[in-house]
Amino acid sequence: MTTREDFLTAARTALGLLCRDEVARNWDGPSALPGFGVSGLAGHLSYQVLPLPSMLSAPVGDEPVVPLAEHYARAGWTDLDVDSDFHTRIRAGGEKLASGGHAALCDEVGRTLDELGKSLPGSDNRPVRMPHWGPWAVPLDEYLLSRLMELVVHSDDLAVSVGVDTPEFPRAVNEAVIGLLTRMALDKHRAIDLVRALSRKERAPRDITAF
Q: Which domains does the chain have, with CATH numbers?
A: 3-203 (1.20.120.450)
Percent share of the chain, pLDDT over 90: 78
In tens digits, the chain (211 residues) has pLDDT values of: 799 999 999 999 999 999 999 999 999 999 999 889 999 999 999 999 999 999 999 999 899 999 999 998 888 776 666 777 777 888 888 999 999 999 999 999 999 999 999 999 999 999 999 877 889 999 999 999 999 999 999 999 999 999 999 999 999 999 999 999 999 999 889 999 989 999 999 998 888 888 7
d(CA 76, CA 187): 12
Would you say 31 and 43 are in contact if contact means Cβ atoms under 8 Å apart?
no
Residue 39 confidence (pLDDT): 97
**E strand or H helix at 119:** helix 102-119
25-66 per-position pLDDT tens digit: 999 999 999 889 999 999 999 999 999 999 999 999 899 999
3-state secondary structure 70-81: HHHHHHCHHHCC
Structure confidence by residue, pLDDT tens digits, 179-192: 999 999 998 899 99
Is the CA virtual torsion 106, 108, 114, 119 positive or negative? negative
pLDDT at 78: 66
Round to whole Å and give the CA distance between 166 and 13. 10
Q: Tell me the whole-structure pTM to 2 decimals.
A: 0.93
The b-or-e profile of 167-200 (16+ CB within 10 A means b, else e) is bebeebbeebbeebbeebbeeebeeebbebbeee
Q: Which pLDDT belongs to residue 73?
A: 87
The per-residue pLDDT for 80 is: 64
Question: Residue 168 carries which DSSP code?
Answer: P
Phi and psi angles of residue 9, each rounded to the nearest 5 degrees, phi first: -65, -45
